[in-house]
Amino acid sequence: MQDLALAQPLTTLSDEETMFRDAVREFAESSVRPYVSEMDEAARFRPELIASFFELGLMGIEVPEQFGGAGGSIFMATLAIEELARVDASAAIYVDVHNTLVNNAVRRWASTEQHSRYFPRLTVDLLGAFALSEPASGSDAFALETRADRVEGGWSLTGRKFWITNGAEAGLFIVFANTDFSKAYKGITAFLVERELPGFSVGKKENKLGIRASSTTELILEACRVPDENVLGPVGQGYKIAIETLNEGRIGIGAQMIGVAAGALQAALQYTRERRQFGKAIADFQGVQFQLAQMATDLEAARLMVYNAARMKDAGQAFQQQAAMAKLCSSQTADRITSQCLELFGGYGYSKEYPAEKYYRDAKIGTIYEGTSNMQLQTIAKGMMK
């Protein structure tokens, strides 16, 4: 039986893309997989692996070469995220958020001076985080209450941010705050907040169901003084920066989810070949084969949607609707495939000694973060109504 979990559509990849994908796959298998269970159990990611991401050039895939990056594409980032997620979703998230959210926003919206100040550090050793969500501001992202008051030479930020990925390790945070509540969402502004700034601190780390090794924290800003030169983009344009950045981020989430689904399917294929009942491997039963075939078909469809959204973005075409579709489809597909995978493992699927339960836990977040499934449906519907 062919290993369908790895049978990706090679005809859509150039030689360069294939070599890059294979290199990331080899790294994930040799350097990440040995520590997956340990990191999940401890809810802590090994810092030397983050350092390896930088050393391998995985933290500056789309950053132009003049700024120390690889000058690659979102499609290349998609391949890297997918391959890492196939082994460990937490590993993929560090690379995903840093590339599709932080580097993307800085690359597109930062001034020339900010580029020289933060690049190439963002491609060498400075991990980033994207801080939009708040306790009362989730799907209604622009109801945020963090305020930015004008002070001499800059701004004073006060508020709390929740669910901040990479929060425990990041050194640079893109923080969204409102500079003028009378203008509603048009007062929202993005700030580049360095971890060492007075008045800034990292709060509690969430104890999560899945992606446990990835840090998710609270941020606390208590009259945090941010100089004028750290405003990202025009004052009052933070809502535009957030929306446009998250559009690309949804492709990254899609890549995570097809990676998780591929890892689960690969594990199910291996287990069903080895597990024997009634005198033969359970993979020889037609009922099991049909389940595996359906999982493989669903995965291939989701993968092509994610790849298509990435290709459209790289081609300069409007991709927002396709990115929302890709995230919606891939997260739902990962949810189904990982659940079916766990069932194929039977009682062993419920045990932490086998990988099925972790893939199942890791998949669930895909329907929630960077826009719930309902928010993706709203985006798709709006595009259809235009």
Which residues participate in catalysis according to the annotation?
Answer: 370
Name residue, tokens 């926003």.
105
The tokens of 155 are what? Answer: 């701004």
Contacts of 277 (CB under 8 A, 6+ apart): none
CA atoms within a 13 Å half-sphere pointing along the CA-CB vector of 120: 15
- Beta carbons of 253 and 370 less than 8 angstroms apart: yes
Q: Is 242 left (phi over 0), alpha (psi -120 to 50) or beta?
A: alpha
> What phi and psi values does residue 199 have, to the nearest 5 degrees?
90, -5
Is residue 267 within 8 A of residue 283, CB to CB? The reply is no
| SS3 of 247-292 | HHHHHHHHHHHHHHHHHHHHHHHHHHHHCEECCEEHHHCHHHHHHH
Strand partners, 175: 131, 191
The residue assigned the tokens 């990435």 is 310
Q: Is the peptide bond before 64 cis (omega within 30 degrees of 0)?
A: no
Cα torsion 266, 269, 273, 276 to 10°: value is: 120
Residue 155 and residue 179 in contact, taking contact as beta carbons nearer than 8 Å: yes
How far is residue 282's CA from residue 313's CA, in Å, rounded to a whole number? 42
d(CA 188, CA 158): 13
Q: Is residue 345 classed as helix, strand or coil in its secondary structure?
A: coil
What's the CA gap between 311 and 75, in Å, rounded?
Answer: 6
Contacts of 279 (CB under 8 A, 6+ apart): none
Neighbours of 102 (CB within 10 A): 26
